A = this chain, B = another copy of it.
Amino acid sequence: MARKPARAPNDDIGEETRLKMYRTQVVIREAEQRAFDLFLQNLVKGTSHLSLGQEAVAAGFATAMNPGDLSFCTYRGHAHTLARGVSIEKVLGELMQRDNGLMRGKGGSMHLTSEEHGVMGSYAIIGAHLPIACGAAWRAQYKGQKDVSVCFFGDGTTNIGAFHEALNFAVIWKLPVVFVCENNLYMEYTPIEDVTAVQHPAADRAGAYGLEAVIVDGQDADEVYRAAQAAYAKARAGGGPSLIECKTYRYSGHSRADPAKYRKPGELDKWKERDPIKIYRERLLQFGIEQETIDKIDTEVRQVVDDATEKCKAAPQPPFELITRDVYADGGWAWRN
C-alpha cells in the first residue's frame, strides 16, 4: 500500500514529532489506567492522582522541550514524569512503593523526581513549586544556559499566595520559566468557578503581571505543542516568562479515594467526546499515518505496561536501611555527634 504523505501542506509539526506525541499520550493513558487497576487490587499504596483525560497537556509540553529543559510537577505528576521518558516500571514501582520505584518507595506517588530526565520534582504542597521553578530559571539566566524551566499546576493553585509571588518575581527578573495551568475545572472536589473571582483562573490573572493571556485547548496535543514551542522560544530568547492556561478535564476522581460525585450530569461524557487520544488518532490518520502504525504503538505500549506491572509485582520492598539515608548530603541523617 502506498504511503500517504508524511506532512500535510503547511504543517509545522511533522510525522516524527506527532508519533512521539501520540506514543507519549498512550504511555500515560495506559500507565495511569494500570495504576488505577493496581490500586483496586490494593497494590498501589498511599494516594494517587491520575491524569487520565489530561494526557495531551503533558505530551505537548514535554515533546516541545529540549533535553536539559526542566519539569516541575505536582502530586498529579505521573503524566509529566512519563512524558519526559522516565520508565513506566519506575513510575509504577514508586506508586507501589517497591524497591524498583523511581525513588525506591521513599517519596511515593506525589513526589516523582528524576533528575537525569529533567524532572526536578513533584511537589505536594499547592503552589510551592512555582517559586522553585523561578529559581531554576534564574540559574539558567545567571549562567547563560539555554534551558527552560516548565512548571505545571492546576486551576486551584492560582488562588494560593505562592502563585502570585512567583508570577511577579518571574516577570521582573525576566526569567526563562513557563507556567502551565492545567485547568480541569475542579480543585479537589470543589468547582473552580465557585472559589475564583474570574472565569479563567490563570489567563485572567496574566495581566496582573504584565503578561499576555494565553488559553489553549488542552485536549489537542498539537495546540499544546505549538503554545509550548512559542513560550520556550520566547524564554530562550530572553523574553521572560509565559503563563499558559490549558482547558482540560480529568476522567478519574481527584485521588484514589474520590468517586467524583460532584461532577455535573453529563459533564464527563461531554469531555470524553473530546478525548485527547481519540482526537490525536484522527489527527494522525488525517496526516496520512497508517492505522497499523498507530495500532502498533498501542500494542507496544500495552506490552511495556504489562511487563512493568509484572516486574513491579515481583519487586521487593525497599530495605530498612533507606530510612536513615539521604537526609543530608553525606548520605546519612546524623544531627549530632
Contact = CB atoms under 8 A, between A and B. Distances in A.
Interface residues of A, number: 23
A171 B159 CA distance: 12
A304 B259 CA distance: 68
Copies in the complex: 2
11 contacts: A159-B165, A160-B161, A160-B164, A167-B197, A168-B197, A171-B197, A172-B194, A172-B196, A198-B207, A198-B209, A207-B207
A13 interface: no
Interface in A275-318: none
A205 interface: yes
A128 to B, nearest CB: 11
Contact of A198 (B160, B164, B208): B208
A195 interface: yes
Contact of A208 (B161, B194, B195, B207): B207
Interface of A: 159-165, 167-168, 171-172, 194-198, 204-205, 207-211
A165 B172 contact: no
Contacts of A167: 197
A210 B162 CA distance: 20
A172 B163 CA distance: 18
Contacts of A195: 168, 172
Which 4 pairs across A and B sit closest by C-beta, in order of nearness?
A: A161-B161, A164-B164, A171-B197, A208-B208
A20 to B, nearest CB: 35
A279 to B, nearest CB: 32
